[in-house]
Amino acid sequence: MKVKPAKRTNSVKEYYFSQKLRQIDQMRKMGADIINLGIGSPDQPPSNNTIRRLAEEASKADAHGYQSYIGIPDLRKAFAAWYKKYFRVELDPDSEILPLMGSKEGIMHISMAFVDQCDDVLIPDPGYPTYSSVTNLIGGNIKYYDLDEKQGWMPDLDKLEATDLSRTKLMWINYPHMPTGALGSLKLFEKLVGFALRHNILLCNDNPYSFILNNDYISILSVDGARETALELNSLSKSHNMAGWRIGMLAGHKDYISSILKVKSNMDSGIFRAMQLAAVEALDNPDSWYDSVNSYYRRRRTIVESIMDLLNCKYDKNQAGLFVWGRIPEEIKSCEQYVEDILDKAHVFITPGFIFGKNGNRYIRISLCANEKTLTESLKRIELYIKKQK
């Protein structure tokens, strides 16, 4: 290339799943029937009223212009009502809620708004890889904190307190946790808020999995003092089967929201109005709709647990979210090679835990976003694969 890319691109690699999807696509072109159990993209549709509202609004002649950077009032009010009903948190829709094009966008906006070059950012290991890649892109300094199965995948705050936190600006948390499925608790959030207040750290809870195989909805913002030091991201991607729609939200103190809006308003031109109004419908889904969605995941989880059992992996049956996270047998030397062998010989793709950090090296993750027929076929293929290995 005559023009060299910016140095910041050297700090990140192509997203693992981007590479893997390309590999899977190539294998399929060569005739392989690959089953992808790697990615948490819900395969069920949103509620009927959500789709109907989208079609109705999109058909209007005047519905296709630029929209407000802060979202339409109806959507902000719907998010506020949703948080009050399920999380028991009162939010001012005019100043404490910012609709987003998915919460992944919010990770970048928050980081750009608050992290200067060389500021430390606390990132969980294992954790969502985007926290690290965004921090690298903006020039922040990653400071990983360990999550361990023996501690229930909870941060050791005493250990963190013993480190130098003088340059720490931001801390990412994510409960219910991805990839492990560990549930948070009010007690944990109270400790985290206290920690953040003591050290003047902005605490960011990424909270998209609350409604999947879980009915104990907890927001970091329900803790006393949290608004001084905490933000929360949420999304309709997982909870409402709307991953491709890119509708999310950020909640927190109005001053934090205002700072983030300075970044966001220079990076997009608002969310399509018809999608915002459809999201209003989705947020008004009855409890029975969430129950119906989870009934699918419970049946699927039974099959995925059978796959984990077949692979002799250990897992927690109380995990929440769209995945089952399991520890591979000790005799397996390389998790990465193990997953590649299963893909190559059984034509089933399973996510290796190393992509989430060094503490995921001995784990695999299987998605629940495939129907029962597909999961049953995966079980049969892996059973045949294991027999051939003996």
Give the pLDDT confidence of 122-147 residue by residue, as tens digits.
999 999 999 999 999 999 999 999 99
Residues 147 and 296 in one domain: no
Query: Residue 287's pLDDT is what?
Result: 97
How confident is the model over 229-276, as pLDDT tens digits?
A: 999 999 999 999 999 999 999 999 999 999 999 999 999 999 999 999
How far is Cα 279 from Cα 78, in angstroms, rounded to an integer?
8
Within 147-288, strands assigned E span: 168-173, 202-206, 230-235, 248-252
* Residue given tokens 């927190």 in the structure block: 252
Return the higher-pLDDT residue of 62 and 11: 62
Same domain, 263 and 302: no
User: Residue 388's pLDDT is what?
Assistant: 86
In the chain, % of residues over pLDDT 70: 99
Is residue 3 a part of any domain in this protein? Answer: no
Same domain assignment for residues 200 and 292: no
267 shares its domain with 330: no
Asked whether the beta carbons of 279 and 245 are under 8 A apart, the reply is yes
Instruction: Using a cut of 0.85, tell me whether the model's pTM lies above it.
Output: yes
pLDDT at residue 14, as a whole number: 76
User: Please, is 263 exposed, middle or buried when counting C-beta atoms within 10 Å of its C-beta (0-12, 13-18, 19+)?
Assistant: middle
Polymer length in residues for the chain: 390
Which residues, in sequence order, are CB contacts of 82 under 8 Å at separation 6+?
283
- Predicted confidence (pLDDT) at residue 172 exceeds the cutoff of 80: yes
Residue 154 and residue 99 in one domain:
yes
Same domain, 188 and 315: no
Q: Which domain holds residue 381?
A: 13-42+288-389
Task: Give the DSSP letter string of 16-51.
Answer: HHHHHHHHHHHHHHTT---EE-------S---HHHH
Cβ proximity of 338 and 332 under 8 Å: yes
CATH code where residue 375 lies: 3.90.1150.10
Residue 309 has pLDDT above 80, yes or no: yes
Mean pLDDT (whole number) for 94-106: 95
With bands split at pLDDT 50, 70 and 90, how would you rate the model's confidence at 2?
Answer: confident
Question: Is residue 5 situated within a structural domain?
Answer: no
Q: Are residues 242 and 385 in the same domain?
A: no
The CA distance from 11 to 16, in Å, is: 15
- My answer on whether 158 and 37 are in the same domain is no
Last-in-domain residue among 253, 283, 313: 283
Report the pLDDT value the prediction gives residue 30, as an integer from 0 to 100.
93
What is residue 121's DSSP assignment? Answer: E
Q: Is the pLDDT of residue 148 over 70?
A: yes
Q: What is the dihedral of CA 188, 191, 193, 199, to 10 degrees?
A: -140
Tracing tokens 């089953």 back to the chain, one arrives at: 35
| 73 and 112 part of one domain | yes
Under 8 Å between Cβ of 70 and 262: no
Given a cut of 80, is residue 12 above it in pLDDT?
no
* pLDDT tens sequence across 33-84: 999 999 899 999 999 999 999 999 999 999 999 999 999 999 999 999 999 9
Asked whether residue 114 is assigned to any structural domain, the reply reads yes
The whole-chain average pLDDT of the chain stands at: 96
Residue 56's CATH number: 3.40.640.10
Average the pLDDT over each of 9-13, 74-78, 176-180 and give the range with the smallest value: 9-13
pLDDT on residue 1: 65
Please tell me whether residues 36 and 55 are part of one structural domain: no
One-letter identity of residue 116 = D
Q: If you average pLDDT over residues 272-299, what whole number do you get?
A: 97
Residues 241 and 293 occupy one common structural domain: no
